[in-house]
């Protein structure tokens, strides 16, 4: 009887065993640090960069952004935490049980739900934006600035929701370090695009407030493409 060589465990199984049997503190840190990077970039850095450059247009422009940011963050957190948590949990359970076909099916369903939610957010804020920001105190130039930024952001809501869904899928596999690399790269792209699109650069026309929103949507689209 000949000995059959034992194949090493496939990478996902090795990661699962490490999470289940590895030392607790290093394992938690390994999972938490990339997620911290993702949330800091998503919640703090990206809006701050937009606010820094748009603030050059005056207080009304900056106040207009202040009306949009809470609603934009609401969308981000619904995509990444509320819906995203459900996506990550369901896919992780399917992978852990060895049901890879179910996991793949869940990814498709997650993307479909993300597309539906994006369409809803786009419709609400593109149609009802003037009323919503008016109720929040937007008037005159402040309201105009809020709408200029909001219309770009929520027209590109699909980029936010797809990024949230795909981030959650990758998180479910345990390969969270990938997310930190992707988000840092996307923010570097965002930092380069904002001044170029807001103030113009060479053949690129100055788009003003619209340029800041467009830079954010482009960087999120790039992140989604890489994760996909």
Domain count, the chain: 1
Domain interval for residue 186: 31-227
> Which 3-state string (H, E, C) describes 162-226?
HHHHHHHHHHHCCCHHHHHHHHHHHHHHHHHHHHHHHHCECCECCCCHHHHHHHHHHHHHHHHHH
Average the pLDDT over 18-30 and give the result. Answer: 68
d(CA 207, CA 70): 23
Of all residues in the chain, the percent with pLDDT exceeding 70 is 83
Strand, helix or coil for residue 9: coil
User: pTM of this prediction?
Assistant: 0.82
d(CA 189, CA 93): 34
59 in any annotated domain:
yes
39 in any annotated domain:
yes
| pLDDT band (50, 70, 90) for residue 1 | very low
Give the pLDDT of residue 22: 67
71 in any annotated domain:
yes
2 in any annotated domain:
no
5 in any annotated domain:
no
How much is the mean pLDDT over the chain? Answer: 86
Tell which phi-psi region holds residue 138, choosing left (phi > 0), alpha (psi between -120 and 50) or beta: beta
Write the CA distances from 174 to 27, 32, 84, 228, integer angstroms.
Answer: 11, 11, 14, 16
147 in any annotated domain:
yes
8 in any annotated domain:
no
Strand, helix or coil for residue 22: coil
Write the CA distances from 34 to 58, 63, 181, 184, integer angstroms.
Answer: 35, 32, 8, 10
d(CA 51, CA 101): 44
194 vs 46, residue with greater confidence: 194
What confidence tens digit (pLDDT) does each residue in 139-189 have?
999 999 999 999 999 999 999 999 999 999 998 887 878 888 888 888 899
Out of 11-15, 17-21, 60-64, which region has the weakest mean confidence (pLDDT)? 11-15
Give the pLDDT of residue 47: 84
132 in any annotated domain:
yes
| pLDDT band (50, 70, 90) for residue 18 | low
Contact 145, 60 (CB under 8 A): yes
């Amino acid at each position: 009887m000949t000995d059959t060589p034992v194949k090493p465990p496939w990478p996902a199984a090795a990661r699962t065993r490490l999470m289940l049997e590895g030392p607790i503190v290093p394992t938690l840190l390994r999972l938490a640090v990339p997620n911290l990077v993702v949330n800091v970039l998503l919640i703090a850095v990206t809006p701050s960069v937009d606010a820094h450059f748009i603030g050059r247009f005056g207080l009304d422009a900056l106040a207009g952004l202040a009306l949009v940011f809470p609603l934009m963050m609401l969308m981000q957190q619904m995509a990444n935490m509320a819906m995203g948590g459900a996506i990550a949990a369901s896919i992780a359970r399917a992978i852990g049980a060895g049901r890879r076909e179910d996991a793949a099916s869940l990814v498709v369903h997650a993307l479909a739900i993300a597309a539906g939610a994006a369409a809803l957010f786009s419709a609400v804020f593109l149609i009802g934006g003037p009323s919503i920001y008016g109720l929040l105190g937007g008037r005159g130039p402040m309201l105009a600035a809020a709408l200029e930024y909001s219309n770009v952001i929520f027209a590109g809501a699909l980029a936010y929701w797809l990024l949230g869904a795909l981030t959650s899928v990758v998180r479910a596999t345990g390969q969270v370090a990938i997310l930190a690399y992707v988000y840092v790269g996307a923010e570097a792209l965002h930092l380069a695009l904002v001044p170029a699109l807001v103030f113009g650069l060479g053949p690129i026309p100055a788009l003003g407030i619209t340029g800041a929103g467009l830079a954010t949507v482009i960087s999120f689209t790039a992140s989604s493409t890489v994760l996909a």
